Structures are given as structure tokens and as C-alpha cells.
Structure 1
Amino acid sequence: MNTITRLVVYTIISVTFATTHAQEKAVDSLKKTSVYYKIETLEALKTKIEKEEREFLKQEIESINDRLDAKQISAAEAEDLKKHAAEKRAANIENRLAIVDNKIELLKRNESVYASDDDESFVIRIGGDEDLGDEFIYLGKKNRVHKPRKYDRRTTSDIVFAFGLNNALIEGEGLDDSPYKIGGSGFMELGYAWKTRIFQNTNFWRLKYGFSFQWNKLDIKDNQYFVNTDGDVTLQEFPVELNKAKFRTTNLVFPVHLEFGPSKKIEKEDYFRYSTRNKFKIGVGGYAGLNIGSMQKLKYKEDGNRIKNKQRGGYEVNEFVYGLSSYLAWGDTALYVKYDLNPLFKNQAFDQNNISVGLRFDMD
């Protein structure tokens, strides 16, 4: 092997050795950084644990005080419960911190073996009563803890959905003489509602309130459509045959109902609830809000062409909407009626007021 060849070989060996050594150092540095980062995260978790347990203890003491104020327990029983809660939370802190300390020691001894962000080997359950609600200490990526249940929830919430038939009561006319088709006219409502128990020790009376979007549609018959002539909105004959003539209003309203009916009281050691599941209930109230849109949709043929015409606004619709509503329910399903006290169109010779009947679903 000549001198040049030896020099090339030595150069290749040196570069390879240096590159391998640099890669090993980079990997070691990365592993070390990952371990240190994990340990720092766990140290921070210890502070979080103490704060969480103190907050949980505060909530439990508030629940105990609520029971004492409601005369459901005596002062002596309240003190015993507070003492038990404090002892439990102190033990929780001690046990949870021990788990974290053990995790830290495990990482220090084994370096990167247990440093993965996806490590889910430490999942601890405290308690196991399904009715009381479990708490989880998750020492992996998410670090979640489920809070204990509140002793008394006086307010709950539901998604409200309703649909059905819609029409208008016209001054001096009956529904039989209505210019709107009964089958083709409909309504839909979608909203969110809260329900609050009014009295401390009974759930017979509840206040239900929230917000809803209401879509009221009228299917106009006899080849007529709405025409606004200098503020006078009337139904007139369309010049060609109509395939469809519909008028729709969109309202944002804020309903309030007084709901009443029986309920079942569910009592546990650390909480109680009232349930209206499979119970009869009645809601009586009303709503007020704003009209946020109106549209007339016409479909017809002209010179062999199909035409779809949408006309938005310009129909003298009342901006302020208010009315009465009521429902008769079994469980989550109700027969629902609503009636607009405001006329559909303002400043007209004859008032017509929207009325709807259908089904309502309160889904929690």
C-alpha cells in the first residue's frame, strides 16, 4: 500500500470515527435532555397536586356547609365530615407525591428508558364508586384529574330542538280560510336552555330559560305571492303558474318557562340530584327577541326555463318578536305550542299572527 493510499484510508477512518462519536454524543445529549425535561415536569406536577387537593377540599367543605344550612345534617355531623375530608385530602397528597417521587427516581436510574412522552404506565384510580365519580391521577402526557362531584347541582342545561306545523291566524278569518297550506307550512327551533330549581328543598318548580333560533315558514297557496306596495303588504296573483311560493322568517328569541311536575330525588353519601327522567312535566311561559331575516322563495317556469327567485327583506316584518309558548312533556319529549303576540307584518289593515304546533325535544 503506497503512501497516498494509506493517507486516504486513514482519512476515511478518522472521519468515520469522528462522525460516529459526534452522533453518539448528540443522541446521549438528546436522551439526557428528555430525561431532565421529564423530571422538571414531574417536579412541577407536585405543586399542582397540592393545589388541586386543597381546591377539592374547599369544594367538599362548601358542600358540607350547604347540607348544614339546609338542615340535612347536624353541626356535629358537619364537623366529622369536614375532619374526614381533610384527612382524606392529606392522605391523597401524601400518596400522590410518593407516586411522583417514585417516577422521578425511576427516571434517574434508567435515564431514557421511561422518558417517552407516550408513557402511560402510571395510571392510578382513587376511589371506585361509580355513583360518586372517579378521580384519576394521570402521570403521562395529559396529567388529568377528574374533580369530585358537586354536592347539589341546582342548574342543568339542555339542547332544545323542535319542529312541526306552522300557520298564521288572520284577523276576521279562520284556519279553513287561510291562504297558507297547512301541510306545507312548518317551523323549526334550535336552541340552548338552562333549568334552575327555584326552591331549596323541592324540585317541583323549575325555571327554564335560554336562547333559540326559530324558523317559521308559510307555504302560500292559490298561485299567490307577497307584494309590498308602498308599505302595504298583500297577497296577489302571480303572472305565471307558480310551482312553489314560500315565505320564511328567522327569529332570535329568549324563551322563559315556568316548569313544574314531579321528580325523583337521588341521594348518595357525597351528593344528591333530582331527576325528571320518565316524569310528567308542564312548561308555561313566553319568549321575546328579534327578527333577523325574512325571505320569499318563488319557483316557476318562464319561456321553458326553470326559475328560482329568492327575495330577502323588504316585507315590513316586525323587528321585535314576542309571544306565548307552552309544552306538555313526558321525559325529554313534549307537545309544543307557540303563538306570536306581535303581528307578522307591521302597520297593516289586517293583523296576522304566527302560530306553531309540534314536538319539542330537550336533550341533555
Structure 2
Amino acid sequence: MQKIILYTLVIALSFLSKVTAQNKKKAETFEKKVESISNKMDFLLFREKTELKLKVDSLENAFSNQKISANELKDAKLAAAEKSANRIEEGMDKYKKELDDLLQSKLDNESKNITYKIDTINGKKVLVYFKKGEGGHTVTLGGGTNDSIGTQTEYNISSLKIFKGEKDKIERKSKRTTSQFVFATGLNNVITEGESLSDSDFRVWGSHFYEWGFTYNSRIFKNNNLLHAKYGLSLMYNNLRPTENRYFVRNGEQTELVTGGVNFDESRFRNVFLVAPLHLEFDFSPKKTSKDGERTYFKTHESVRLGIGGYAGVRIKSKQILKYEIDDLDIKERQKGDFNVNDFTYGLSAYIGYKATSLYLKYDLNPMFQNNAVDQNNISLGVRFDFN
């Protein structure tokens, strides 16, 4: 299959090169080189197949004449097949590299005929790419939009999407279900039973969380934009930095904070979870009307948004990172294990903001450690970005 794909790609490029008369000779040379490599591949496969068959026939005759046992026959066949397969793999890798080099050279030569210019269309700056004898391809600069250019392509880096013109952008962003890339970061800490955050065992400004993932946003009512169901998958990274030169130690079923025997330059405890968040989102983005007045559509993330809901997931890993110095040697330890951390997590979360940016709060309902005498529940506050 890989061979067929390579042939198809190379032949397609060769065919395109024939469009221009002055490249005809080069195209013929290119095709001959491809044909030569193809013949080498066919010859290699035929030779190995034939020699393996002859070898197996010879072994079968030796077995029939009772010169080797059944086990020896089996082992010899396997060894011969492995040697043949290795020779085929090595040969194919060699010829594949020749094809790759030939194709790369072809692409490099073709790209020399491509140029661009900066143009302004309806007040928008665009890059227009040209190939001699062909039309241009327009790309918006700075992620802008232009209602009057149907062939304009917009590469929206923040949302990881490509829009083929303003019409395509409007249709996709006004669908009843849209998708977003989500990134959040901020402060992380724990609520300890019987204590306040001011008495926390962890640095307030030194402990952080990160979250990234993808969500779907589905408008609940067909002709009303207020209520949406927002759901997806995210990775949560909860980092804690203990105070007073301490670090975590597992003591049987308990996990305790103890004072280090050295001065730590860094003491950080990280839990990573794969979670499925679910929110009811109130989106106050107004409905819009097309320029001809014939169509009403809804867009999300255009105004104030409020989301309330929760999440549930599983722990991926736990890790403690310690950095310190002994005898002028910088030492960095990475300790991996479960540290008696709960394998599952679930909690409540909410966010409120404008367009893509929101203030984000999440709180674990289950304690961080399974069997500690005092419960500690993770809490995070930060900024969230939903790139639509």
C-alpha cells in the first residue's frame, strides 16, 4: 500500500509538470528515474521470493530424505524467512529513500516558481501567492475577515481551524454544535479540613494549575442562543509547592509532609488527570442577520458567557520534583508513584467572562489523598480561554 501511495504521488507530480512545455524534458527524465527505482523494487521482491521458495524446497527434500528432523525443518524455514524479510526491508528502505530524495528535489525545483505579493482588498491586507502560468491563492494577514471575497482562506491559529472564506466561517461558527480549543491556567492550592487558605501548607503564589483540551458547544434550543451544553475532554495539571522546606513522603497508607534534610531550591508535587467536563453555558451573544436580510443565524463566544457544571476523570500520574545542592553539585530528583492519591477525581467548576476569556474556578469534591486522617481538597482559580 505504501508503495502504491508513493507511486501515485510521484506520477501525479510528474503529470502536473507536463503542463508547461519547457518542463517536458525534465518531466520525462523524472519519470524515467521513477520507473528505474520501481523496476529495482520489483526485481528485489521477485528475487527474494524465488530464492526463498528454492530454499524451502531444498529443506523439504532434506526432510523427506530424513537428513533433518521436523523441528530442524521448522527452525530452518523460519530462519530463511527472517533473512529474506530483512533483506527485503533493507532494500525497500534504500529505494524508498531514493524516491523520497527524488520527490523532494522535484518539490524544491517546483517551489522556486512560486512567489507572492502583499495586496489590499476591501481594506484588508492579504498575501497573494502565485505560480507562473497559474492563478493566485489569497491568505488573510492577522486573522482578519473579508465579507466580499468568497475564495479567501483564513488560518485561525488560536482555534486550530482553517476557514475557506467568510461564508464558510459564518456557516461553521453559527452551527448548532461548534468546537473549541480550551486552555486555562492560574493559582492552585488545597482546602484543608479545619483550616483556611491563609494557613495553607502550600505557597499561594507558587502553586499553579494548567488545563488544556477540546470541547463541543451545542445550542439547546433551535431558535434561542441563551442555553448551551458544553462538554469535552481535558488534561488537568495540578501543581503544589510546600512551604517551610518540606516535601511529601508516603508512610504506609498515609502521605505526609516532612521537613527536608537539605535546603530545597524546588519542591513541587504534581497530579495529572484526564477529565470529562460538562457545563451548562449561558451565552448572551445576540442573534445576527445576513446582509440580504433573508437569514437569521446565531454565533457563540461573541458576548458575556457564564458556565456552571462539573467534571469527572481519572488520574494519569503523580510526580514529585526536588531540586537541591550538595557539595556544589546541583541535583534534581523526579519521584514517580501513586503517593496514595485518589485514582478518580470529580468536582464542581464555573466560569464567567466575555468572548473567549473567562475567570475560572474549580473545586474537587473528593479529597486528594485516599486515607489521610485530614481531608485536603484541591481548589483552582485562574483564567480560561475558549478559542472558538
The match for 1:204 among 220, 226, 230 is 226
Structure 2 residue identity aligned to 1:182: V
Give runs of aligned pairs for residues 293-308 of structure 1, distance below 5 A.
Answer: 293-308=317-332
SS in 1 for 2:224: coil
Q: Which runs of 4+ in 1 moved over 6 A?
A: 145-148
Answer yes or no: is the 8 Å Cα contact 1:167–1:182 preserved in 2: yes
> Displacement of 1:290 after TM fit?
1.0
1:304–1:147 Cα change, 3 Å: closer
Report if the CA contact (8 A) 1:187-1:356 is conserved. yes
Change (3 A) 1:253 1:223: same
Which structure has the bigger radius of gyration? 1
Q: CA deviation at 1:282?
A: 0.7
Among 327, 344, 361, the alignment partner of 2:368 is 344
Residues 185-224 of structure 1 mapped to structure 2, 5 A cutoff: 185-224=207-246
Percent identity over the alignment is: 42
Counterpart position of 2:387:
363
Deviation at 1:243, TM superposition (A): 1.9
Between 1:272-281 and 1:352-361, the stretch displaced more is 272-281
Query: Who is 1:240 aligned against?
Result: 262
User: Residue 120 of structure 1: which of 111, 124, 134 is its match?
Assistant: 134
Say yes or no: does 1:261 pair with 2:277.
no
Counterpart for residue 322 of structure 1: 346
- Deviation of residue 341 (structure 1)? 1.0
Aligned to 1:292: 316
1:134 is aligned to 150
Q: Is the 8 A contact 2:283 2:301 kept in 1?
A: no
- Is structure 2 residue 356 aligned with structure 1 residue 332? yes
Q: Tell me the C-alpha RMSD between the 2 structures.
A: 3.0
Residue by residue over 1:309-354, the C-alpha shift from the partner in whole angstroms, topping out at 9 and shown as x without a partner, is 1101130111111111000111111110001112111122111010
CA distance in 2: counterparts of 1:358 and 1:284, whole angstroms? 15
One-letter code aligned to 2:150? D
Q: Residue 275 of structure 1 aligns to a residue in which SS?
A: coil
* Offset of residue 218 of structure 1: 0.3
Higher relative contact order (CA 8 A, sep 6+): 1
- Aligned-partner SS, 2:349: strand
Query: Alpha-carbon deviation of 1:165?
Result: 0.5
Give the TM-score, by structure 2 length.
0.57
Task: Report SS of the residue matched to 2:287.
Answer: strand
User: Normalised by the size of structure 1, how large is the TM-score?
Assistant: 0.60
Matched residue type, 2:235: F
Aligned pair 1:273/2:287, yes or no?
no
Instruction: Provide, for residues 142-169 of structure 1, a one-character-per-residue CA deviation record: whole Å limited to 9, x for no partner.
Output: xxx9897559610111111111100001
Distance 1:301 1:265, change over 3 A: same
Pair 153,306 (structure 1): closer, same or farther in 2 beyond 3 Å: same
User: Does the Cα contact within 8 Å between 2:147 and 2:166 map onto a contact in 1?
Assistant: no
Equivalent residue letter for 2:305 = K
Q: How many residues align?
A: 242
Matched, 1:183 2:205: yes
Task: Decide whether the 8 Å contact of 2:208 with 2:239 is kept in 1.
Answer: yes
Q: CA deviation at 1:135?
A: 6.1
Letter of the 1:204 counterpart: L
Rounded to whole Å, the distance in 1 between the matches of 2:262 and 2:238 is 26
C-alpha change, 1:197 and 1:133, in structure 2 (3 Å) is farther
Structure 1 residue 229, shift from structure 2 partner: 1.1
